[in-house]
């Protein structure tokens, strides 16, 4: 059983779809990186809008502060002063994005512990200040959050608990990232702080770009907060976090409630960051706060705000890259996260979104594969482009209106891969037959015929079939003098100009040009594409050829070239015949042409030769079918065609339907029928010959173009006399002499 030509590209496309879906199921690193990059692009196109009145501020240890107060780390006496100044301005919470794991080396009290100062007297030693104690005293009882981070100094489980955790839903204790060992603050500071929060951002898993921030961590037994959420807790004066988890699925966190705030989280407790360009108005120089000289000016920037203390100085190397492509201080990431939370501008990516992406990619890819297999490349490309545009539009809408992160990169990749797979197979394998078909037939058949052929290229094989066809032979009249009087290049130019016009007339009627044979053209109808009215179409093409030759003769350049040599005007003879013939690819297995052979071909060729005998330019041999009778035709009797034992009925084609509808042609046809009847009656009297001559003269008045044919009739009495009256049944009805006389 022969499979349809669409089966190959369709099968390849479906295989590509299944392979891509399997790849998505595995979700290798490069797909995850591609997905994250796509989300970055969304943020770059539509960054988060600034929201007025969000009480977040950064006290920045910047280049200005380093210049005024000396290199970092500063004596903690300065940090104590910073805390006191901020507290005096009405700060809501202070969060240090800095860990203090060791005692202050610059504290005078610590100098006494240095062996280099062992011989110093103890006089006044107890009065020397201890900067760590000063810093500890400054933060004690104030809304200060200190940081801790991954490290090797202490066990995370040894960190003091500053807040309690409650949970709803299925157990989720193992969902957040695990903290084993940490780098924490010295005990005195840790004990004095109102809160402790982790400052790590897992950049390694995010290709070095800060896209997500863990809001919750675990030491294996309990939850631990991040610096930002701990600052939110302290600012609201609450003691407990409420972790919401999925009711059915274990270790699947959904959100975190802190006082009046609820933060949507990913399953592992991470928060999706949504950035705005790094805002310079969020920063206040630490040097200005510590100086204490502009309290009233700075108070509006601090009062009621959550203040994050961090560093932007270049030498302190606390810089992170955001999805917007900016390199910003690490403390700004925490600040932007807090801005999002307080503004309620969240991004989320629920678990069901992955299923939606796979379904969307699968359906649109299958639709595109179907189009690539069934339709023309232009239409299938349009479907692919429309599918891609739909993916992009859905992704953009979900991001901007719903805050949903839908991955467009994988569906687009899958769309491209599957479309290219199906299209490439079609171009390289299936359409190879189509290209072969176009190569063979492109110059010989009409575009509509070629389109039908391309739908069934499997017919392109050696061999043929018996079909009812109409064959047309076209020959240049008086070609011998033309070839004798023109140079070869001139002759080629004249013939090519004529054939160009005649070929267009044939193709316009859906004919197939078989071959050019010197001064002749052979064409046929009803193959390779079925054409029910093929005889009518062929006759219309012959009339088109007549018009094309007339137009060619009207060309001034052609007339200038041929008239002096008495070769102008050009004329052609067209012979047609309908009947059975063998149509198919003729030749060898290596080289063959689509052609037609059989008695019908010979009859058409003989009809063309008989045009000289009949004295008309278009002659149809054989029976005239119903469709062709709509044209202006006249019976021309029975003539002997070479190779045929009996005379064959022939008909001249005078004009088209418009010509057939004219009163002049009706009169001509009526008188012509009477003339034919008179001739078939085999009258030999002189009076009858005179009648015939008189009728021919009258008929010529109605259509001067028929004068040669009508004049020749008087010498062709035998063409009508030799055939029985019944043989003319397809053309004219014989009439009696009385009827003829009455006409």
Secondary structure in 3-state letters for 426-463 = HHHHHHHHHHHHHHHHCCCECHHHHHHHHHCHHHCCEE
Q: Does position 433 have pLDDT exceeding 90, yes or no? A: no
Judge if 570 and 624 occupy the same domain. Answer: yes
| 8 A C-beta contact, residue 673 and residue 690 | no
- Are the CB atoms for 652 and 616 separated by under 8 Å? yes
> Where is mean pLDDT largest: 100-114, 557-571, 575-589?
557-571
User: Same domain for 95 and 193?
Assistant: yes
pLDDT at 119 (0 to 100): 55
At 313 the pLDDT is: 85
pLDDT of residue 593: 76
Mean pLDDT of 136-141: 95
Same-domain status, 72 and 180: yes
The pLDDT-based confidence of 318 (bands split at 50, 70, 90) is confident
CB 179 within 8 A of CB 131: no
How many Cβ atoms from other residues are within 10 Å of residue 274's Cβ?
Answer: 24
**Average model confidence (pLDDT) for the chain?**
86
What mean pLDDT is predicted for residues 217-226?
95
In the chain, the percentage of residues whose pLDDT exceeds 90 is 64
Cα 2 from Cα 500, distance rounded (Å): 39
Q: How many CB atoms lie within 10 A of CB 71?
A: 10
Tally the domains of the chain: 4
636-665: burial string, b at 16+ Cβ within 10 Å, e else:
bbbbbbeeeeebbbbbbbbbbeebbeeeeb
Higher pLDDT, 202 or 363: 363
More confident residue, 250 or 105: 250
Q: How many CA atoms lie within 13 A of 76 on its CB side?
A: 29
Confidence at 739, pLDDT banded by 50, 70, 90: very low
Q: Which of 280, 311, 343 is the last residue of a domain?
A: 343
Residue 647 lies in a domain: no
Mean pLDDT within 424-449:
61
Same domain, 478 and 583: yes
- The answer to whether residue 448 is domain-embedded is no
Please check whether residue 433 lies inside any domain of the structure. no
Q: Are residues 199 and 291 in the same domain?
A: yes
Considering 343, 358, 376, which residue would you say is the last residue of a domain?
343
Q: Which of 307, 322, 343 is the last residue of a domain?
A: 343
Higher pLDDT, 349 or 433: 349
| pLDDT of 99 strictly over 90 | yes
Average pLDDT score over residue span 145-164: 93
Q: Flag whether 541 is in a domain.
A: yes
Share of the chain above pLDDT 70, in %: 87
SS3 label, residue 159: coil
Structural domain span for residue 77: 56-103+129-343
Do you find a cis peptide bond into 569, omega within 30 degrees of 0?
yes
> Per-residue confidence at 224, pLDDT binned at 50, 70, 90?
very high
Evaluate if residue 431 carries a pLDDT over 60: no
Q: Are 183 and 148 in contact (CB under 8 A)?
A: yes
Say yes or no: 562 and 601 in one domain. yes
Distance from C-alpha of 210 to C-alpha of 638, rounded to nearest angstrom? 96
- Other beta carbons within 10 Å of 77: 20
Confidence of residue 701 (pLDDT cuts 50, 70, 90): confident
Q: String of b and e for 307-325 (b: at least 16 CB within 10 Å)?
A: bbbbbbbeebebebbbbbe
CA neighbor of 620 nearest in space, from 540, 679, 517: 540
- Does any domain span residue 645? no
Q: What mean pLDDT is predicted for residues 239-245? A: 96
State the average pLDDT over residues 641-667.
89
Least confident range from 322-336, 446-460, 497-511, 608-622: namely 446-460
- Domain assignment of residue 304, yes or no: yes
pLDDT in tens, 2-25: 445 677 778 888 998 999 999 998
Q: Is residue 441 part of a domain?
A: no
Q: What is the mean pLDDT of residues 479-493?
A: 92
Q: Is the pLDDT of residue 700 over 60?
A: yes
Mean pLDDT of 590-611: 88
Report pLDDT for 740. 31
610 and 702 together in one domain: no
At 306 the pLDDT is 97
- DSSP code, position 348: B
Same domain for 497 and 418, yes or no, is no
* pLDDT at 688 > cutoff 70: no
- If asked whether residues 592 and 672 sit together in one domain, one would say no
- In sequence order, what are the beta bridge partners of 655? 632
Tally Cβ neighbours within 10 Å of residue 165: 16
Specify the pLDDT at position 588: 73
Tell me the C-alpha distance between 446 and 439, whole Å. Answer: 13
Between 689 and 126, residue with greater pLDDT: 689
Judged by DSSP in three states, 328 sits in: strand
Residues 560, 622 within the same domain: yes
pTM: predicted TM-score of the whole model, two decimal places? 0.62
Could you tell me if 280 and 399 lie in one domain?
A: no
For the residues 528-537, what does the mean pLDDT come to?
Answer: 92
Decide which of 662 and 641 is more confident: 662
Closest CA relative to residue 571, chosen from 636, 676, 482, 699: 482
Name the band, by pLDDT with cuts 50, 70 and 90, for residue 725: very low
Residue 74 maps to a domain = yes
Q: 379 and 237: one domain? A: no
Out of 152-161, 391-400, 525-534, the most confident range is 391-400
pLDDT score for 735: 35
């Amino acid at each position: 059983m022969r499979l349809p030509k669409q089966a190959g590209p369709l099968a390849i496309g479906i295989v590509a779809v299944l392979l891509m879906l399997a790849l998505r199921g595995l979700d290798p690193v490069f797909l995850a990186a591609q997905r994250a990059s796509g989300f970055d692009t969304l943020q770059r196109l539509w960054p988060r809008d600034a929201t007025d009145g969000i009480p977040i501020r950064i006290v920045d240890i910047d280049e200005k502060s380093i210049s005024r107060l000396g290199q970092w780390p500063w004596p903690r006496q300065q940090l104590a002063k910073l805390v006191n100044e901020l507290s005096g301005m009405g700060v809501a919470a202070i969060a240090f994005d800095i860990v203090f794991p060791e005692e202050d080396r610059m504290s005078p009290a610590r100098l006494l512990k240095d062996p280099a100062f062992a011989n110093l007297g103890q006089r006044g030693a107890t009065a020397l200040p201890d900067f760590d104690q000063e810093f500890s005293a400054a933060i004690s009882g104030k809304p200060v959050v200190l940081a801790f981070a991954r490290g090797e100094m202490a066990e995370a489980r040894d960190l003091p608990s500053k807040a309690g955790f409650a949970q709803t839903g299925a157990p989720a204790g193992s969902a957040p990232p695990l903290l084993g060992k940490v780098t924490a603050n010295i005990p005195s500071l840790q004990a004095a702080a109102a809160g402790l929060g982790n400052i790590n951002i897992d950049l390694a898993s995010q290709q070095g770009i800060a896209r997500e921030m863990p809001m919750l961590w675990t030491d294996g037994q309990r939850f631990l907060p991040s610096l930002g959420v701990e600052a939110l807790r302290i600012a609201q004066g609450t003691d407990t976090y409420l972790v919401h988890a999925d009711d059915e699925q274990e270790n699947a966190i959904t959100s975190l409630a802190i006082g009046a705030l609820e933060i949507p989280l990913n399953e592992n407790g991470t928060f999706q960051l949504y950035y705005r360009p790094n805002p310079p108005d969020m920063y206040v120089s630490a040097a200005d706060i510590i100086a204490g000289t502009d309290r009233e000016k700075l108070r509006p920037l601090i009062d009621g705000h959550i203040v994050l203390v961090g560093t932007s100085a270049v030498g302190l190397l606390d810089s992170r890259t955001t999805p917007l492509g900016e390199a910003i201080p690490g403390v700004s990431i925490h600040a932007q996260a807090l801005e999002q939370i307080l503004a309620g501008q969240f991004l989320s990516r629920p678990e069901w979104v992955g299923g939606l992406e796979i379904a969307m990619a699968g359906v649109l890819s299958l639709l595109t594969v179907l189009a690539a297999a069934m339709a023309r490349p232009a239409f299938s490309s349009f479907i692919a482009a429309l599918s891609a545009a739909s993916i992009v539009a859905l992704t953009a809408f979900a991001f901007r209106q719903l805050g949903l992160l839908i991955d467009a990169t994988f569906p687009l990749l899958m769309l491209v891969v599957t479309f290219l797979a199906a299209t490439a197979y079609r171009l390289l394998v299936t359409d190879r037959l189509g290209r072969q078909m176009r190569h063979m037939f492109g110059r010989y058949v009409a575009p509509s015929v070629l389109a039908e052929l391309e739908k069934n290229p499997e017919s392109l094989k050696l061999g043929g079939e018996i079909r009812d066809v109409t064959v047309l032979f076209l020959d240049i009249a008086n070609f011998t003098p033309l070839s004798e009087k023109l140079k070869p290049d001139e002759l080629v130019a004249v013939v090519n100009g004529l054939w160009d016009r005649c070929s267009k007339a044939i193709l316009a009627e859906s004919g197939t040009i078989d071959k050019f044979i010197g001064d002749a053209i052979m064409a046929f109808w009803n193959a390779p594409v079925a054409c029910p009215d093929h005889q009518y179409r062929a006759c219309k093409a012959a009339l088109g050829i007549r018009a094309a030759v007339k137009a060619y003769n009207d060309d001034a350049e052609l007339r200038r070239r041929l008239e002096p040599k008495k070769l102008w005007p050009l004329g052609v003879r067209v012979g047609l015949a309908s009947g059975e013939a063998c149509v198919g690819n003729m030749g060898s297995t290596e080289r063959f042409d689509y052609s037609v052979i059989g008695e019908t071909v010979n009859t058409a060729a003989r009809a063309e030769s008989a045009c000289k005998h009949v004295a008309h330019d278009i002659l149809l041999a054989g029976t005239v079918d119903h469709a062709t009778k709509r044209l202006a035709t006249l019976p021309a009797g029975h003539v002997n065609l070479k190779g045929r034992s009996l005379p064959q009925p022939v008909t001249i084609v005078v004009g088209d339907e418009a010509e057939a509808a004219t009163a002049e042609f009706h009169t001509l046809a009526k008188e012509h029928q009477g003339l034919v009847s008179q001739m078939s009656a085999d009258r030999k009297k002189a009076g009858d010959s005179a009648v015939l001559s008189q009728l021919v003269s009258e008929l010529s008045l109605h259509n001067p173009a028929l004068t040669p044919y009508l004049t020749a009739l008087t010498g062709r009495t035998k063409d009508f006399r030799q055939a029985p009256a019944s043989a003319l049944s397809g053309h004219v009805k014989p009439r009696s002499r009385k009827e003829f006389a009455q006409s």
